[in-house]
Amino acid sequence: MSQYACEWRNVTVRFGKRTVLHTVTLGVRCGELVGLFGHNGAGKSTLLRTLLGLIPVQNGQVLVEGTPVGARQMSQIRRRIGYVPQVLNTDPRVPLTALDVVMTGLYAGIGIGRFPSRQNRESAQDALRKMQVLHLARQPFGVLSGGEQQRVLLARAIASAPRLLLMDEPTSSVDWQFVHELIWLIRQVHESGSLSTIVVSHDAPFLARLCDRVVLMESGRVLGEVSAEGLLDYLGRGWV
Amino acid sequence: MTWLSLWSEPFMARALLATALSAVACACVGVLVVTMRLSFIGVCISHAAFAGALIGLHFGVSPLGSSMVASLLAAGVLGPLADRGNLSPDTAIGVVFSASIALAFLLLALLPGPKAEALSWLWGNVLTVSRENLWALAGVATAVVVLMAVFFKEIQAVIFDRELAAASGIPATAVFYAVLAFSGVTIAASLSAIGGLLVFSMVVNPAATAYQLTYSLRQLFLLSALLAVLAGWIGLALSALFNLPAGAMIVLVSTAMLLVAIVFSPKRRWSTATDGGKDV
Ligand SMILES: Nc1ncnc2c1ncn2[C@@H]1O[C@H](COP(=O)(O)OP(=O)(O)OP(=O)(O)O)[C@@H](O)[C@H]1O
Ligand SMILES: [Mg+2]
Average pLDDT in chain A: 89
Q: Mean pLDDT, to the nearest integer, of B34-62?
A: 86
pLDDT of residue B119: 79
Query: Please, which residues bridge with residue A18 across strands?
Result: A15
Distance from the CA of B169 to the center of ligand 2, in angstroms?
21
Q: Mean pLDDT, to the nearest integer, of B208-228?
A: 94
Residue B235 resides in a domain: yes
Q: Which of A240, A167, A175, A239 is nearest to A210 (CA)?
A: A167
> Which of A84, A90, A100, A166 is the mutation pick for testing B, counting most B CBs within 10 A?
A100
Residues of chain A above pLDDT 90, percent: 56
pLDDT of residue A152: 95
Residue B112: domain span:
10-279
Find the CATH number of the domain harbouring B127. Answer: 1.10.3470.10
* Closest ligand, as measured to the CA of A14: 1
Residue B1 resides in a domain: no
Q: What pLDDT digit, counting tens, does each position of A59-97 carry?
A: 999 999 888 898 778 888 999 999 999 988 788 889 999
> Judging by DSSP bridges, how do beta strands A164-168 and A196-200 pair with one another?
parallel
Whether the CA torsion A58, A65, A202, A101 is positive or negative: it is positive
Tell me chain A's radius of gyration from C-alpha atoms.
Answer: 18
Q: Which residue of A has its CA nearest to B32?
A: A95
Q: What pLDDT digit, counting tens, does each position of B230-246 carry?
A: 999 999 999 988 988 88
pLDDT of residue B1: 54
Residue B4 resides in a domain: no
Residues 6+ positions from A217 with CB-CB distance below 8 Å? A36, A37, A38, A42, A43, A44, A47, A223
Residue nearest to atom 17 of ligand 1 (CA): A45
- Reduced to 3 states (helix: H, G, I; strand: E, B; else coil), residue B237 is helix
> Which of B148, B153, B217 is the mutation pick for testing A, counting most A CBs within 10 A?
B153
Q: What pLDDT digit, counting tens, does each position of A162-216 carry?
A: 999 999 999 887 788 888 888 988 888 888 877 999 999 988 889 988 998 999 9
pLDDT of residue B3: 63
* Closest ligand, as measured to the CA of A13: 1
pLDDT of residue B273: 42
Distance from the CA of A42 to the center of ligand 1, in angstroms?
7
More confident residue, A176 or B222: B222
Q: What is the 3-state secondary structure (H, E, C) of chain A?
A: CCCEEEEEEEEEEEECCEEEEEEEEEEEECCCEEEEEECCCCCHHHHHHHHCCCCCCCEEEEEECCEECCCCCHHHHHHCEEEECCCCCCCCCCCCEHHHHHHHHHHHHHCCCCCCCHHHHHHHHHHHHHCCCHHHCCCEHHHCCHHHHHHHHHHHHHHCCCCEEEEECCCCCCCHHHHHHHHHHHHHHHHHCCCEEEEECCCHHHHHHHCCEEEEEECCEEEEEEEHHHHHHHHHCCCC
Q: Could you report the predicted ipTM of this complex, rounded to two decimals?
A: 0.91
Distance from the CA of A24 to the center of ligand 1, in angstroms?
15
CA angle B137, B140, B141 (to 5 degrees): 80
pLDDT of residue A103: 97
Decide: A44 in ligand 1 pocket, CB within 6 A: yes
Residues of A in contact with B151 (CB under 8 A): 112-113
Residue B5 resides in a domain: no
Q: Mean pLDDT, to the nearest integer, of A16-29?
A: 92
Cβ atoms of residues A192 and A161 within 8 Å: no
Counting ligand 1 atoms within 8 A of each CB, the residue from A44, A216, A240 with the most, and so the one to mutate, is A44
Q: What is the nearest CA distance from B275 to chain A, expressed in angstroms?
A: 8
Distance between CA atoms of B188 and B204, rounded to whole angstroms?
15
Residue A133 has pLDDT above 90, yes or no: yes
Residue type, A123: S
Reported for B110-119, long-range contacts at CB under 8 A and 24+ positions apart, including other chains, are: B110/B58, B111/B54, B111/B57, B111/B58, B117/B57, B118/B54, B118/B57
Residue A102 has pLDDT above 90, yes or no: yes
Q: Do B216 and A95 touch (CB under 8 A)?
A: yes
Of the partner residues B159, B166, B168, the one whose CB lies closest to the CB of residue A94: B159
- The strand order across the sheet containing A67-68 reads A18-29, A4-15, A59-64, A67-68
- What's the distance, CA A59 to chain centroid? 23
Q: With bands split at pLDDT 50, 70 and 90, how would you rate the model's confidence at B84?
A: low
- Reduced to 3 states (helix: H, G, I; strand: E, B; else coil), residue B241 is helix
Domain count, chain B: 1
Average pLDDT in chain B: 85
Residue B86 has pLDDT above 60, yes or no: no
Q: What is the nearest CA distance from B170 to chain A, expressed in angstroms?
A: 5
Q: Which residue of B has its CA nearest to A84?
A: B164
Highest average pLDDT, of A86-95, A143-152, B22-31, comes from: B22-31
- The strand order across the sheet containing A221-227 reads A81-84, A164-168, A196-200, A33-38, A213-218, A221-227
Torsion angle defined by CA atoms of residues A177, A179, A184 and A185, in that order, rounded to the nearest 10 degrees: 110
- Reduced to 3 states (helix: H, G, I; strand: E, B; else coil), residue B275 is coil
pLDDT of residue B88: 61
pLDDT of residue A231: 78
Domains of chain A: 1-80+162-240 (3.40.50.300), 89-161 (no CATH)
Query: What are the residues of chain A with a beta carbon less than 8 Å away from any beta carbon of chain B?
Result: 52, 54, 74-79, 81, 83, 85, 88-97, 100-101, 103-105, 107-110, 112-113, 115-116, 140-143, 160
Q: What is the nearest CA distance from A90 to chain B, expressed in angstroms?
A: 6
Residues of A in contact with B173 (CB under 8 A): none
